[in-house]
Amino acid sequence: MKKWALRPQPEFTFKPSYWTGAFVVNAFLYQVVSGALLLLYYQPSVNGTLTACGQTPGTLSSAPAAWCSTYYIIHSVPMGALLLSTHLYGAYAMIFLMFLHFFRGYYLGVYKSPREFSWMVGTLLMVFTLGMGFTGYLLPYTALSYNATNVGIVLALRLPTFGPLLGPFILADGTPQGLLSRMFDAHVLLIPLALAALLYAHIALFESHGIAPPATSDPLQRRRYNESEDKKGVPFMPNILFYLTKWGLLYTGVLFGIAALWPWQLSSYYGNLAVTQGVTEPDWYFLWLFKLVDFQGVTPVIAVGASTAILVYILFLPFLDRSKRTHPRDRPFFIWLATSLLGFFVLMTVWGGETPGVQILPMQVAQTIAPVFVVNAVAVALFHWRYTVAYRRRLAMRPYSLPGVYGPGASTGTPAGGRPTAEVHGVE
Amino acid sequence: MTGFPDLCGTAACPFEAGRTRALDWPVGQIHRVAAADGEVDETKRNVLKLAAVAGILGIGVGGAIGGAIQYAQPPVVGLSSYPKVQLLDTDGSPLTVATVESEYNVETAELLLFYYPLTNEPNFLLNLAPKSGAPDGTGPSASNPGYYDAPGGIGSNGSIVAYSAICQHLGCPAPSLSYYPPGPPANPCTSYPGGYAFYLHCQCHGSTYNATNSAANLTGPAVLPLPQVVLITDEPTGSPPAYKSGNIYAVAVNGPPVNGHLNTLQGGYGVGAASQLAKENPSSPLACNFPS
């Protein structure tokens, strides 16, 4: 009989940094549960409804049903405001944890053999998770959510060739109802199904490879755990399950605390011209893209092209970073790119939040963004010189009396990394 | 593999005739066991069967995918031609030139919006002239708003115009796209892009349009002008007709398609016979930090 439990894990993994992926799964499960509950009351329609939303009960609302039912969830459903707020903040948390999981894996080189395919599936999961954020943004049907969704769609429609091809699938018959139906379908059915399928593949691949060992400079370091080692590991049932339950409960508690302290406020619905609406802007995770099109000369093609280039780079990273070493110290170029990417996203997000609607001239763009890459390059170069060169120099001076400890070449007179002694001395 | 029973006699297996020992692989046996007629080429028959099944499956799957693609693209909803729509004031009464010239003027930053020709296509109604005073002929500036007769403008000064309230860059609508009349107190800005005093500015990505010249684009990232709504009244005078008084109607839209629509007439429901104005405050604070 097949066991339903997942693989045991080695003891050294019981630190939060080894479970960032499990935290994302936990956040996803919370989204599924809270989303299923919201679905009991939500109405994906732009027509008026008899649901009471600030009006006398039983009168047909002039507000769209999508907005009206959201209002109803917040004001009339028991614990509705808390549920809706946790669904929104849970989405933010899931995206944040996903980025954390991504950068942790990038820095520690877990995408290297044999985990290349797992990394690629993870990249697709990242795209679909951002897709969940995009499609969910429209559903409350506030003026802000409609207008911001429209910006994203126009960005796609403005692409040559692809735009006109994609248009009918996104816009349906071109009416707001058509768009809402498509976004609703994608948010509650299509993308969750894709996420579940990819998540299954991601976890199955993880089960097959085992946890990535700690990053190391040793290129011959064991890269996977096998069945016999499982016997020494901590079993899933009950230890890992309890461990993850502890983190899951902490997550849910913090989420409810934040949602109770700062419940989400529903702004005016789309189509209500009489109420002053705010400036159109996306949620924080798309602010960098929103800012990117501010730059003078950045057309939708360039903006979408740049995002796609970043995505393709991440997708094929295992085949670009081909060295067998996993330690950040041994991968200065790719660490420089990772830190620059992170700095770029943070900078663009803050910049987008600070100065909405100000066109940025190319010189200012260069003056603001270039330092991120330059400072990172200097920092990585210094770090590389201080730790890698010095580390190899120390290795070269040690007696090779401990075979296997300082690398595979130790017993044959070559220091770790396979560099001949003479060359290392030459560096000195 | 030896010792496998040779189930096929030489007479029943024409393509195996002459063989004295069993095949090394039992799949061949299955063919021969299933053979009902010794004269039939089973291999050819199986290949044909496989081709037929694959073909039917291929047509079925291809048809299903094609059908799904067709199914996912419903006909676009819209109008076949521009309707003549009467504009109504915020209180529901017919909007007249006299009302616009006395109540809505160049000195206020308040936005007047109406939907035309579809219910998801908002437009600005602008009066680019001061409340009182004769034309001074010097043209508009920050210190002297003067009056301006815009192309396509109606009213006694030819200064009443209507433009799409959706930015041509990425579709940010009013009030992200706002109208800024020249000069304080409504507008604290003292310098204008290109020296134009009447402009529309989008707070999403900074595009600016010249309100006095058919909403031509002044600064990017947008490149196209805003679509202009053609206004007429029910009291035309002269030939070609001038519309200096009377009730105001919208009859067409010139310029590029409204952003987010493949065609201004398509992608939404028509507004009907009348469209009511709504007032909205511009987003604050006014943005003065234009690139020069």
Write out pLDDT tens, residues B106-161.
Answer: 666 678 889 989 888 889 888 877 655 444 445 555 555 555 666 778 887 778 88
Q: What pLDDT score does B262 carry?
A: 78
Decide: A19 and A27 in contact? Cβ < 8 Å.
no
User: Look-up: residue for tokens 């007047």?
Assistant: B112
Chain B hits for A273, Cβ within 8 Å: 113, 122, 278, 280
Closest residue, chain B, to A153 (C-alpha)? B260
B279 interfacial to chain A (CB closer than 8 Å): yes
Question: Are the beta carbons of B221 and A296 separated by less than 8 Å?
Answer: yes
Residues 79-118 of B with CB under 8 A from A: 113
Q: pLDDT at residue B185 above 70?
A: no
Q: Residue A169 is nearest to which of B72, B281, B283, comparing CB atoms? A: B72
Q: Which residues contact A108 (CB under 8 A, 6 or more apart)?
A: A212, A214, A215, A326, A328
Instruction: Look over chain A and give the mean of its residue pLDDT values, rounded to a whole number.
Output: 85
**b/e per residue A67-88 (b: at least 16 CB within 10 A):** bbbbbbbbeebeebbbbbbbbb
Q: Residue A279 is nearest to which of B170, B207, B283, comparing CB atoms? A: B283
Count of A-B CB contacts under 8 Å = 127
Question: Are the beta carbons of A359 and B291 separated by less than 8 Å?
Answer: yes
Tell me the residues of A at the B interface, defined by beta carbons under 8 Å apart.
147, 150-151, 153-155, 157-158, 164, 167-169, 171-176, 178, 271, 273-281, 290, 293-300, 356-361
Q: Are strands B177-180 and B160-164 parallel, antiparallel or unpaired?
A: unpaired
Closest residue, chain B, to A358 (C-alpha)? B206
Listed residue (B111, B128, B45, B119) closest to B78, CA to CA: B119
Round to whole Å and give the CA distance between A173 and B73. 7
Q: What pLDDT score does B106 carry?
A: 64
Closest residue, chain A, to B114 (C-alpha)? A273
Round to whole Å and give the CA distance between A153 and A166. 10
Q: pLDDT at residue B163 above 60?
A: yes
- Each of the 428 residues of chain A gets a pLDDT tens digit; together they read 346 778 888 888 899 999 999 999 999 999 999 999 999 999 999 988 888 787 777 778 888 999 999 999 999 899 999 999 999 999 999 999 999 999 999 999 999 888 999 999 999 999 999 999 999 999 999 988 988 898 888 888 888 888 888 888 988 888 889 999 999 999 999 999 999 999 999 999 998 888 888 887 777 776 776 667 777 888 888 889 999 999 999 999 999 999 999 999 998 888 776 666 667 888 899 999 888 888 877 888 899 999 999 999 999 999 999 888 888 888 889 999 999 999 999 999 998 888 766 777 888 888 988 999 999 999 999 988 887 777 777 777 766 544 444 444 444 444 444 444 433 333 33
How far lies A262's CA from each of A27, A88, A186, A248, B133, in Å?
Answer: 19, 12, 28, 21, 53
Q: What pLDDT score does B242 carry?
A: 80
Complete domains list, chain B, with CATH: 14-71 (no CATH), 77-286 (2.102.10.10)
Question: Are the beta carbons of B170 and A168 separated by less than 8 Å?
Answer: no
CA A363 to chain CA mean position, Å: 31
Q: Residue B260 — pLDDT band, cuts 50, 70, 90?
A: confident
Return the higher-pLDDT residue of B190 and B275. Answer: B275
